[in-house]
A and B are shown apart, each in its own frame.
Chain A
């Protein structure tokens, strides 16, 4: 009798604690807070944290669920990301967030997809992330093919006829983005003057740069999606060799380190999720971020992390519950979520959102907005 009573009270206790926990929206982060992906994951988390604090203070996600974050550092290691995702999913999270890169995100998605946990990659941009995992996987940042389209359109508008592309087979981002650019650029009548390859982290671009320098005539534009530490080394050596062709880059160089390179990056144009130029909602957000955290708003990844909070809030509101299927459907049908960089839409996409892309020019250690574009879906190459 006693035993039965004890068991009964235990189950009741269990049910009670479960009920108490069920009121919370548990967001698990298998995130690269250290290592090579920290440049994107750290600021993304800072932004998300701010969104969570604000939304919790205003009554919770969807007006009723307080969010709790469980952050596990993956050290930018794919195996560690899988392990973190496994632990998080087993602990009963409602939403999983994965690092700023395709490989760990897809690997972690293999855990969260069968468990029906809605998953967002922090700022992974490879458009195949979502199709490689399944219907519970979502991107948030402008996809590679969309960014490449905006860059190629810009090159076309500027009247560039020939382009040199530099890519690396070491990651989907560094390989595919220039290839998407090539597709759109040649479709619009441009030609590829040459293409080069590098290994990530190789540091020495002298041989490659000498090849570009020896091209005659010089290409109208050089395009690459290299990021740190490769992009700084490349651009320095390119300019040192006397190549003056304009350079187009992608969102990976939207970091304070690249802006800190000084006048070698003057005139470099790159795609980005947004720029806090005067009068924009992003500028208001940037000020608020600095005010509340005391840290400078030094990269747009902060805004992206914040927007993930807004997306989750909108989805929970639409779903009305934390039921996994309802939550997934709600995210997939979101339309015109008012973010700080512009409107974000999932409805009608392959779970990589349709959103504005900013073209940004670097000069004198700071950035200025060239223009903001929403790429024409008909121009965007298939992933």
Chain B
């Protein structure tokens, strides 16, 4: 029983991180129709933000703020420099642009900082676990669950109760009408990128807290997972992204925990096989995005 509860906590924690990542992709996709593969590099930027802030002994809370600001700043920068000029491009053009941005950033990290990983020392308080009687919960998994809940709650409030948030939700359904209402398009898009930067920053902190180092390529695996999660959820829908993240997290933990040792090496194949099955049954994803677009 304890084993089961423990794995449940693991699944919620991992699913939460995937949900944050997928949400970061979905926020941008819902508005500009761009799958931003440079999202992983936003995490890397946040990781380096943590590294430098902790390096000059700013303390963890400030370092986290620095990391999030770094990711937001980079998100706004790439939107302004790379994606705004490409606004009218088709999906393929945008996709290639995001790949290019991703590669350029990675090369900049490698040549400007270091191709080798940098240690990010975390306070030892984060390494412990809390005994709940029926299960031990690690501080980091607990932190990811809390951070995910706070971020999701915050995003929900932002989308429901601010003008920009309302405009973003409207833009996800029909951008043209939003512009007719007199809302500046650039601002809505920039805010969407900023929100994805915040989500990447939070996810990066949780990711780095687990791995203890930052390197130029660290964004690759998370963005891939986020992409899979966003697709399972139904690309473009925010609720779908969250659902997709949790489904992927649960699948991964369940396979790791319960597959027999002999077929455990094929874990990823199993997980992705189930993902394909989900998409066969529900080609639009779990919670298809609502748009005003007519086919």
Chain A contacts to B: CB under 8 angstroms: 33-36, 38-39, 42, 169, 194-197, 199, 201-204, 206-208, 210-211, 213-214, 228-229, 232-233, 236-237, 239-242, 255-264
Query: In the docked arrangement, what's the CA distance between A210 and B111, Å?
Result: 39
| Residues on A with beta carbons closer than 8 Å to the beta carbon of B128 | 240
**A257 CB contacts on chain B under 8 angstroms:** 116-119, 212-213
- Which residues on the A side are within 8 Å of B213 (C-beta)? 228-229, 232, 257, 260-261
Within 8 A of A (CB), among B191-249: 207, 210-213, 215-218, 220-222
Q: Is there an interface contact between B115 and A206, defined as CB atoms closer than 8 Å?
A: no
CB pair A229 B215 closer than 8 Å: yes
Let me know if B6 is at the binding interface, CB within 8 A: yes
Contact with A along B2-35 (1 / 0, CB 8 A): 1100110111011000000000000000000000
* Given A213-B6, A263-B124, CB of A197 within 8 Å of CB of B264: yes
CB–CB A262/B257 < 8 A = no
Cβ-defined contact, A237 with B7, below 8 A: no
Task: Tell me whether A196 and B117 are in contact in the complex, defined as CB-CB below 8 angstroms, given that A204-B14, A204-B210 are known contacts.
Answer: no
Contact of B210 among A42, A236, A256 (CB under 8 A): A236
Which residues does chain B contribute within 8 Å of A255, judged by CB atoms? 116-117
Output the nearest chain B residue to A170 by Cβ-Cβ distance: B265
Q: Are B3 and A195 in contact (CB under 8 A)?
A: no
The 8 Å CB contact of B218, one of A229, A241, A264, is A229
Contacts of A34 in B (CB 8 A): 107, 110-111, 115, 216
Does the CB pair A262–B121 fall under 8 Å? yes
Q: Which residue of A lies closest to B17 (CB)?
A: A204
CA distance A208 to B201 in the complex (A): 26
Additional A-B contacts beyond A228-B117, A262-B122 (18; CB < 8 A): A35-B115, A197-B265, A202-B221, A204-B253, A207-B257, A210-B7, A210-B10, A214-B6, A236-B127, A241-B138, A257-B118, A257-B119, A258-B119, A260-B212, A261-B119, A261-B121, A261-B213, A262-B124
Number of A-B contacts (CB under 8 A): 130
Enumerate B9-64 residues with CB–CB distance to A below 8 Å: 9-11, 13-14
B132 at the A/B interface (Cβ < 8 Å)? no
Instruction: Point out which of A34, A196, A211, A242 has the most chain B C-beta atoms below 10 A from its C-beta.
Output: A34
| Nearest 7 interchain pairs by C-beta | A260-B119, A207-B256, A206-B10, A38-B115, A240-B138, A232-B212, A34-B115
Q: Given the complex, which residues of A lie within 8 Å of B256, measured CB to CB?
A: 207-208, 211
CA distance A255 to B213 in the complex (A): 12
Q: Contacts of A263 on B, CB cut-off 8 Å?
A: 124, 127
State how many residues of chain B have any CB contact under 8 Å with chain A: 49
Choose among A199, A206, A239, A262 the residue that contacts B14 (Cβ–Cβ < 8 A): A206
Choose among B216, B218, B253 the residue that contacts A206 (Cβ–Cβ < 8 A).
B253
The contact of B252 among A204, A211, A213, A214, by CB within 8 Å, is A204
Residue of A194, A202, A207, A208 with most chain B CB atoms under a 10 A cut-off? A207
Across the interface, do A240 and B139 meet the contact criterion of CB distance under 8 Å? yes
Is B119 within 8 A of A206, CB to CB? Answer: no
Report the minimal beta-carbon distance from A215 to chain B, rounded to whole angstroms.
10
A33 in contact with B211 (CB, 8 Å) = no
Q: How far is the CB of A101 from chain B (nearest CB, A)?
A: 15
Contact call B267/A197, Cβ cutoff below 8 A: yes
Instruction: Indicate if the CB atoms of B257 and A210 lie closer than 8 Å.
Output: yes
Contact A214 B10 (CB under 8 A): no
Query: Given the complex of chains A and B, what is the CA–CA distance between A201 and B211 in angstroms?
Result: 10
Q: Report Cα–Cα, A210/B10, bound state, in Å.
A: 9
Check if B279 is an interface residue, CB within 8 A of chain A: no
Does B280 lie at the interface of the complex (its beta carbon under 8 Å from any beta carbon of A)? Answer: no
Determine if A236 and B212 form an interchain contact, defined as CB atoms under 8 angstroms apart: yes
Contacts of B140 in A (CB 8 A): 236-237, 240
B3 partner residues in chain A, CB cutoff 8 A: 210-211, 214
What chain B residues lie within 8 Å of A203 (beta carbons)? Answer: 207, 210-211, 221-222
